[in-house]
Amino acid sequence: MRLVNCAVYLISCLYFGHAKAESGNSSNGNVLPVVLWHGMGDTCCFPFSLGSIKKLIMEQTNVSYVRSLEIGANIVLDYESGFFIHPNKQVDYVCKQLAQDEQLSNGYNAIGFSQGAQFLRAVAQRCPVPRMRTLISLGGQHQGVFGLPKCPTLSVSSCEHITRLLNYAAYEKWVQNDLVQATYWHDPLDESSYRLKSSFLADINNELYVNERYAENLNKLTRFVMVKFLNDTIVQPKETQWFEFYAPGQDKTILPLNQSKVFNNLGLELMNLRGKLQFLSIEGDHLAIPKEWFVKHLVPLLLESD
């Protein structure tokens, strides 16, 4: 499958500036470095997207090191990774990169954009060194998706092909291996296939078997912040951005997080009791955050220490 158009879907969303920010050599004072992971259809370094986010964070926090993750050796591979490199491979690659980054040795804060949010959560669960302190999830699909109404940056025909694969063959092994979005496709009408054949999300959510290390490592976070976009037309259901999903066997009623198995199995109940979970919401479509909201609600979280 070939990518057809490298269009600019996210240009109308969270991106405020037009100049690419450059990272410095060390963090400033007690302000921790920040790691960013882009979403589907974006890259680490477009100056109108994560480049401007880096600049904004550096201006507002005085932190001198913001690392926007690039998957692969160049921007083309990074872009394609959002569709065609299995998340397990991406997470493993990122874990090694972060472990080798001396500027993160004292810990870091992280912001994940869309699918980059659940990928960063997997980093926190699988690779606790260096330590992630605060994880901010912007529109992350933590219980997966069931629907793909829009397909940013791809041609109509490519988007339709991906949608058909997800609707009819998401749990085929070759689709799981070759299409990123299939790895967090969650069919509430076929929970058994999801748990048994999901090659990424069911694992990091402790839904096939309970990996106690995942829960322990996630609880090492100082804070887990989830931002939901109330008018989201891309993520279905939008409640997955708050770690909620359809009750099993249907696709209408949302099961509250505290009634789901993942709440206990992944240690989220304990995080909630410790005041580590924070749920924010904002009017607007997927990743459409005004600069003022970002500065008011998210920048202070990057300034706080343990």
182 lies in some domain: no
Q: What is the pLDDT of residue 257?
A: 98
- Measure the CA–CA gap between 61 and 51, rounded to whole angstroms: 16
The model carries a pTM of 0.89
- Average pLDDT along the chain, 306 residues, taken 10 residues at a time: 33 36 47 96 90 95 96 94 96 98 98 98 98 98 85 62 82 96 95 97 97 98 98 94 97 97 98 98 95 97 84
Q: Which residues are catalytic?
A: 114, 232, 286
With a CB cutoff of 8 Å and minimum separation 6, the contacts of 69 are 35, 36, 37, 38, 44, 94, 97, 116
Between the alpha carbon of residue 197 and those of residues 153, 177, 187, 194, the distances in Å are 28, 11, 11, 5
pLDDT score of 1:
35
**Given the DSSP bridges, would you call strands 254-255 and 277-282 parallel, antiparallel or unpaired?**
unpaired
Asked if residue 14 belongs to a domain, the reply is no
The answer to whether position 171 is within a domain reads no
- Which secondary structure element, helix H or strand E, spans residue 155, and what is its range? none
Question: Given this model, what pLDDT does residue 219 score?
Answer: 98
Q: Is 204 a member of any domain?
A: no
Q: Is 91 within a domain? A: yes
**Does 4 map to a domain?**
no
Domain coverage including residue 225: 27-143+209-245+256-303
104 assigned to some structural domain:
yes
- pLDDT confidence of residue 250: 95
CA distances from 180 to 35, 119, 304 (A): 21, 11, 34
159 within a domain of the structure (yes/no): no
Provide the domain count of the chain: 1
3-state secondary structure of 131: coil
Q: How many CB atoms lie within 10 A of CB 250?
A: 9
Torsion sign (Cα): 228, 233, 239, 243: negative
Nearest to 226 by CA among 120, 128, 306, 145: 120
Say how far apart CA 300 and CA 128 lie, in whole Å. Answer: 23
CATH classification at residue 96? 3.40.50.1820
> What 8-state DSSP symbol labels residue 41?
T
- Residue 119 confidence (pLDDT): 98
